[in-house]
């Protein structure tokens, strides 16, 4: 007995068959009868991806164009349940993962979304900087005034009605898209603006694989900056106070100030990572500022050029 309502789990993936297999194996222990598992094949060239998903009993949705937010939108729109959970293919979830996320939505009716606890996968080796980790011990209410890391789309639950109200994820954000990152925080911004709160639930636990080396981390931090700059450019039009807070955090708190601290500590890789984020944010803001926004979403390139 799970003691909670059913959920739909959306898992986007692209050409990472073995990571997908490991994630699906963990999900079989976390889902209950009546739950729905949807794997969105995001323009994979490897046919094994769809075969692995089908063998796990998942509904397989194919997107012929890449983009993680495009895949997430295709997944939740195909889903059947009021609680929609999102997970990434380089994540392993614990057996109570889905139970805790769905119960948090049920217990906190003001929460349009719930983020879960994500730690670095044990035995993954030493890395310069952990990626997509939030390991706070205490649960927390999340609002537009909350600072720091709210959580990640790698382990996330959103009410279907909230997704419908804001049109889901902005497909210009996130991996494989124009602005390359920040898909979940942009989603949170728009949910807050629509009157929803959020909730962080550490009882929902997952583990994120730390597979990137130093060069990949530099590229990733540049992309994080690009997404953050695009996020700020959007917030400037809708919530200037929040835009200023986000800009201070990206450019100063986790950017230049952290780079200076790393320089004083002799951590040269950290300096490069922080500067890549700051430069990416400046470029992302400059590129995104003139792009039209409609109903909280950046217009696609074709729509922008035609306007």
* 200 and 84 belong to one structural domain: yes
* 246 and 274 belong to one structural domain: yes
Residue 298, pLDDT score: 98
Residue 128, pLDDT score: 58
C-alpha span between 111 and 262 (Å, rounded): 37
- How many degrees, rounded to 5, is the angle at CA 280 between CA 274 and CA 283? 150
Considering the domain boundaries, does residue 144 fall inside one? yes
Backbone angles phi, psi at 145, to 5 degrees: -90, -5
Considering the domain boundaries, does residue 166 fall inside one? yes
* 60 and 115 belong to one structural domain: yes
* 45 and 122 belong to one structural domain: yes
Which of 208, 225, 248 terminates a domain? The answer is 208
- Total domains in the fold of the chain: 2
Asked if 277 and 258 count as a contact pair (C-beta separation under 8 A), the reply is no
Which of 164, 184, 208 terminates a domain? The answer is 208
Which of 158, 193, 208 terminates a domain? The answer is 208
Global pTM reads 0.94
* 108 and 195 belong to one structural domain: yes
* 239 and 183 belong to one structural domain: no
* 227 and 195 belong to one structural domain: no
Asked if 209 and 264 count as a contact pair (C-beta separation under 8 A), the reply is no
Dump pLDDT digits (tens) for 128-146. Answer: 567 778 999 999 999 999 9
Considering the domain boundaries, does residue 160 fall inside one? yes
Considering the domain boundaries, does residue 78 fall inside one? yes
Confidence category of residue 301, pLDDT binned at 50, 70, 90: confident
Considering the domain boundaries, does residue 29 fall inside one? yes
* 46 and 184 belong to one structural domain: yes
* 19 and 152 belong to one structural domain: yes
Dump pLDDT digits (tens) for 11-39. Answer: 999 999 999 999 999 999 999 999 999 99
Confidence category of residue 127, pLDDT binned at 50, 70, 90: low
* 61 and 78 belong to one structural domain: yes
Considering the domain boundaries, does residue 2 fall inside one? no
Of the candidates 34, 27, 28, 25, the residue with the CA atom closest to the CA atom of residue 1: 34
User: What is the extent of the structural domain holding 236?
Assistant: 214-290
The CATH number given to whatever domain includes residue 119 is 3.90.550.10
* 116 and 21 belong to one structural domain: yes
Asked if 42 and 66 count as a contact pair (C-beta separation under 8 A), the reply is yes
Residue 123, pLDDT score: 61
Question: What torsion, rounded to 10 degrees, do the Cα atoms 225, 229, 234, 235 define?
Answer: 90
Considering the domain boundaries, does residue 302 fall inside one? no
* 96 and 155 belong to one structural domain: yes
Confidence category of residue 304, pLDDT binned at 50, 70, 90: very low
Considering the domain boundaries, does residue 304 fall inside one? no
Q: Which residue has the higher pLDDT, 302 or 70?
A: 70
Please determine, for residue 305, whether its predicted confidence score (pLDDT) is greater than 60: no
């Amino acid at each position: 007995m799970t003691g909670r309502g059913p959920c739909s789990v959306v898992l986007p993936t692209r050409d990472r068959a073995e990571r997908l297999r490991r994630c699906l194996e963990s999900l079989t222990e976390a889902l209950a009868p009546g739950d729905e598992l949807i794997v969105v094949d995001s323009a994979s060239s490897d046919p094994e991806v769809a075969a692995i998903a089908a063998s796990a009993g998942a509904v397989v949705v194919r997107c012929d164009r890449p983009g993680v937010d495009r895949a997430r939108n295709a997944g939740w729109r195909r889903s059947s349940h009021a609680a929609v959970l999102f997970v990434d293919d380089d994540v392993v979830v614990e057996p109570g993962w889905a139970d805790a996320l769905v119960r948090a939505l049920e217990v906190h009716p003001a929460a349009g979304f719930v983020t879960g606890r994500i730690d670095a996968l044990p035995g993954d080796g030493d890395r310069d900087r952990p990626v997509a980790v939030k390991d706070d011990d205490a649960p927390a209410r999340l609002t537009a005034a909350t600072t720091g890391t709210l959580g990640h789309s790698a382990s996330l639950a959103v009410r279907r009605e909230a997704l419908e109200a804001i049109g889901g994820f902005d497909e210009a954000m996130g991996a494989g898209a124009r602005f390359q990152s920040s898909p979940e925080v942009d989603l949170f911004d728009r949910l807050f603006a629509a009157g929803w709160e959020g909730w962080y639930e550490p009882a929902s636990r997952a583990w994120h694989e730390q597979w990137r080396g130093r060069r990949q981390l530099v590229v990733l931090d540049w992309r994080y900056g690009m997404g953050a700059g695009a996020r700020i450019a959007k917030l400037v039009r809708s919530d200037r106070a929040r835009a200023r807070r986000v800009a201070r955090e990206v450019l100063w708190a986790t950017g230049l100030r952290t780079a200076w601290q790393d320089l004083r500590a002799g951590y040269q890789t950290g300096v490069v990572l922080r500067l890549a984020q700051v430069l990416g944010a400046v470029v992302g803001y400059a590129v995104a500022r003139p792009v039209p926004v409609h109903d909280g979403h950046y217009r696609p390139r074709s729509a922008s050029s035609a306007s």
